[in-house]
Amino acid sequence: MTICETITARHSVRQFLDKNVKQKDIVAILDAARHSPSGSNTQPWQVAVVTGDTKQRVTEAMVDAFEEGESPNPVYQYYPDPMPSPYYDRVKACGIALYQSLNISRDDKAGRRAQWAANYRSFDAPVMLIFWMEGIMQTGSYMDMGMFMQSTMLAALDFGLATCPQAALAQYPDILKKQLGLPSDAIILSGMALGYEDTEADVNQVRTAREELNNFTRYYD
């Protein structure tokens, strides 16, 4: 695939095969992603690769916190509150498409809650990636981290692997710091599920709409 084809082919996957990912493939993906750009070459990214028993322990801790009603306390606010149109409209359309693919009705509160809990298991992908920065880093480095994550997702396609970026995995930073031994001032930005896509799963057929180019681009001669 060309680079443009790779970018358009990438999509978020929420159901994975029960198949382990080779350590050497994870290393190769992150080795490619480290060439991402960053402000003045600061390279602020830190990555925790979580698998096996550690992943089981981490996910159980986050799911327990969610089920017990513990309030999320991410280090940054992801969305505006309140969220106006057209952003809210896009979020709503995304949610409708996702739950319809899973046959979870609007009034099925238990089903919706169970699906949200799946976020904290990285949708049972064999690999959970946690992206974080040292506490001294500032908001400019958030852009660097976004580019690093995009590079990671695109590189994964070279190895036949699928991903799902997960801001939900940053909702319980204290749990991650404790379970993974991260610094107390670490800035937990996001997580990512990594594994082999279950191509037969309906939820993986969902494709969210994208705005037409002319709706967000202005040209100045």
Q: 62 near 120, Cβ under 8 Å?
A: yes
Delineate the domains of the chain, giving CATH numbers in brackets: 9-209 (3.40.109.10)
Mean pLDDT of 183-210: 97
Helix (H, G, I), strand (E, B), or coil: what is residue 168?
helix
Confidence of residue 169 (pLDDT cuts 50, 70, 90): very high
Q: Report pTM.
A: 0.96
Q: Could you report the per-residue pLDDT of 39-78, keeping only the tens digit for each?
A: 999 999 999 999 999 999 999 999 999 999 999 999 999 9
Give the model's pLDDT for residue 159.
98
Give the model's pLDDT for residue 211.
97
In this structure, are strands 46-50 and 127-133 parallel, antiparallel, or unpaired?
Answer: antiparallel
Distance (Å) of CA 93 to CA 98, 172, 177: 9, 26, 34
Mean pLDDT of 164-175: 98
- For 108-160, the DSSP string reads -HHHHHHHHHHHTTGGG-SEEEEEEE-TT--THHHHHHHHHHHHHHHHHHTTT
Nearest to 131 by CA among 107, 96, 163: 163
Give the model's pLDDT for residue 192.
98
Q: Could you report the per-residue pLDDT of 105-153, keeping only the tens digit for each?
A: 999 999 999 999 999 999 999 999 999 999 999 999 999 999 999 999 9
Q: Look up residue 96 and give its two tokens.
A: 């409708």
Give the model's pLDDT for residue 182.
98
Q: 203 near 98, Cβ under 8 Å?
A: yes
